């Protein structure tokens, strides 16, 4: 596996990959209940997270084969964050603001860290270890810098993957509704970032 740090030139590819990977995600289906609308809007919507990561000192990792990508944002508030999403309707914006407030209210207060905002694998390659390989690559880089990591898992299945890579639950599940729960998880920088057996 080879990985590159994405630039703005890679945003179209990253945006499509994110949209494909999150088409059936519980949070995405809550934000955009109609599947057709979700398919239409998510490349631009999720692409803004990748653009923000590149602009703000975060990181977007992209496998050279285009099968997976990660979007990392640095900790800290961005007061203009919600203004970036002009592609969504007022109703969708209301749900997004509710979600953003929940995430901010349940986020960690542990100092500087990197937030794994998104990880996406091409749908026809799920459950093949591809996302885990990319995650391990990124965590190894964070470990060399002594940087902790945070994320919100959107299912028990993904939470079990993250636990293998050293993440631990750091708060109570939260979400806009029972079907759309998020599980906050934290990982201190480690000497090794290989999966736990």
Condensed to tens digits (0 to 9), the pLDDT of residues 70-113 reads 999 999 867 678 889 999 999 999 999 999 999 999 999 888 99
Q: H or E stretch including 143?
A: helix 130-145
Q: Which two tokens stand for residue 9?
A: 């030139």
Tell me, what's the pLDDT at 157? 84
Low-confidence ranges of the chain (pLDDT < 50): 193-197
Tell me, what's the pLDDT at 69? 98
Tell me, what's the pLDDT at 125? 79
Question: Do 16 and 43 touch, CB atoms closer than 8 A?
Answer: yes
Class in CATH terms, 3-187: alpha beta
Tell me, what's the pLDDT at 197? 41
Domain residue spans in the chain?
Answer: 3-187
Q: What is the number of alpha carbons within 13 Å of residue 144 lying toward its C-beta?
A: 5
Q: What is the number of alpha carbons within 13 Å of residue 58 lying toward its C-beta?
A: 27
Cβ-count burial of 108 within 10 angstroms (0-12 exposed, 13-18 middle, 19+ buried)?
middle
């Amino acid at each position: 596996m080879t990985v590159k740090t994405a630039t703005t030139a890679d945003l179209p590819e990253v945006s499509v990959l994110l949209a494909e990977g999150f088409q059936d995600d519980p949070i995405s289906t809550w934000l955009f209940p109609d599947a057709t609308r979700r398919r239409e809007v998510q490349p631009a919507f999720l692409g803004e997270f990748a653009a923000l990561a590149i602009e703000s000192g975060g990181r977007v990792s992209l496998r050279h084969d285009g099968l997976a990508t990660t979007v990392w944002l640095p900790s800290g508030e961005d007061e203009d964050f919600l203004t970036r999403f002009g592609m969504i309707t007022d109703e969708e914006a209301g749900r997004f603001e509710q979600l953003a407030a929940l995430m901010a209210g349940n986020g960690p207060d542990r100092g500087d860290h990197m937030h794994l905002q998104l990880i996406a694998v091409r749908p026809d390659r799920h459950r093949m270890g591809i996302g885990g390989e990319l995650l391990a690559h990124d965590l190894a880089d964070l470990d060399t810098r002594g940087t902790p990591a945070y994320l919100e898992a959107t299912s028990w299945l993904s939470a079990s993957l993250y636990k293998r890579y050293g993440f631990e639950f750091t708060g109570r599940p939260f979400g806009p509704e029972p079907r759309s729960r998020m599980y906050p998880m934290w990982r201190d920088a480690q000497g090794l970032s290989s999966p736990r057996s």
